[in-house]
Amino acid sequence: MSARSRTPLPPFDPADPLGIDDLLEPEDLAIRETVRTWAADRVLPHIADWYEKGELPGIRDLARELGSIGALGMSLEGYGCAGASSVQYGLACLELEAADSGIRSLVSVQGSLAMYAIHRFGSEEQKQRWLPGMAAGEIIGCFGLTEPDHGSDPASMRTFAKRDGTDWVLTGRKMWITNGSVAGVAVVWAHTDEGIRGFVVPTGTPGFSAPEIKHKWSLRASVTSELVMDEVRLPADAVLPEVTGLKGPLSCLSHARYGIVWGAMGAARSSFETAVEYSKTREQFGRPIGGFQLTQAKLADMAVELHKGILLAHHLGRRLDAGRLRPEQVSFGKLNNVREAIEICRTSRTILGANGISLEYPVMRHATNLESVLTYEGTVEMHQLVLGKALTGLDAFR
């Protein structure tokens, strides 16, 4: 008998049934614990009230606190950013979305969209001007791509920037923009005579406004806005110099979608853990409902999909850290994990019964949030077509 066969098996851990934590380094676990503790202290005691009221009070204070723990632009190098690994960033997204999708969206838009665009495509002057303040949470950023009539087809955007001497004049509208009304800087994508270009727009520039969108039934604890540019005059150095064309915004979206692959599993984990605990205390017919076969079957199926999704996210993170993650693989992860997260929330709701619709529990809040996550940064159909094209070599987008 080998020495390995005589080693006692570790106990089964219901919170980590596949032993995925064995794949993580001590620094990974420390970062996860830091973000989990912050979310437990600063978000969870208030989130149901924020969600019910449809507001995110103190967002600037929250941004500064997130900056202080290194969560903003955390996988970027230099300029005050943490320089964390992609897996570490993913773990942070999972913990933030376990609190609420709106909080993870705040961090994703700040770091994976606005900061990432400046870091990857900006001039050194743009990086020095904006990134340190954004990493610290002193400046909030937003990312203007989606338009009222052009969501999944950004190439048809109507926002246009024209040259006027050495200046640019930017006109158009963007819709469903997270952080827009509180942002100090917006990265806005527009058609030009040279192709699609990105512009770094200080939100105090005359002609720029960002009215907040109200009456949402999803992502209620999040600032969502319209961006209106009415002949916004910008200097020549406002344009991102290192990219022309859709590859600019699409590469930013791919980076943000990676965070969603992890984040969706946070919402799923929160709902699943709630269902497990509820099933052990809620009694029907004289015993806890967790002792009934149908309930255990639901819990087993949810656990399988939850931890498969986390394992998939971890695998994609390792590929990203190795420089080997393709956009099609990100589509694979977002398509699967958001879809399965919604199903976990819905099944958890059935275990909680009528209590599942109450804000005393997080399940319905996560379920409604995930309906937005399902379609933003690429709808289900778009990711299916991305994978379909990769599998067949045939383009079904036209």
Count Cβ atoms within 10 A of the Cβ of residue 81 and give its class: 0-12 exposed, 13-18 middle, 19 or more buried.
Answer: buried
- 95, 226, 305, 377: the catalytic one is 377
Dihedral angle sign, alpha carbons of residues 301, 307, 309, 315: negative
Nearest to 236, CA basis, from 190, 163, 167, 189? 167
How big is the chain, counted in residues?
Answer: 398
**Could you confirm whether 377 is annotated as catalytic?**
yes
Nearest to 361, CA basis, from 298, 293, 252, 271? 271
Bridge partners (DSSP) of residue 352 are none
Helices 26-42, 59-68: axis angle to 10 degrees equals: 160
Element (H, E) at 62: helix 59-68
Contact present, 363 and 356 (Cβ < 8 Å): yes
Dihedral angle sign, alpha carbons of residues 44, 270, 294, 9: negative
CA distance 206 to 215: 28
CA distance 246 to 152: 12
Q: Please report, for residues 13, 105, 178, 187, 346, the alpha-carbon distance to residue 112 in angstroms, rounded to integers and kept in the order given.
A: 33, 10, 12, 12, 29
| φ and ψ at residue 305, rounded to 5 degrees | -70, -35
Instruction: Label the pairing between strands 185-192 and 141-144.
Output: parallel
**Encoding tokens for residue 145?**
């791509």
CB atoms within 10 A of CB 10: 8
CB hemisphere CA count around 313 (13 angstroms): 36
CA distance 82 to 111: 11
What are the catalytic residues? Answer: 377
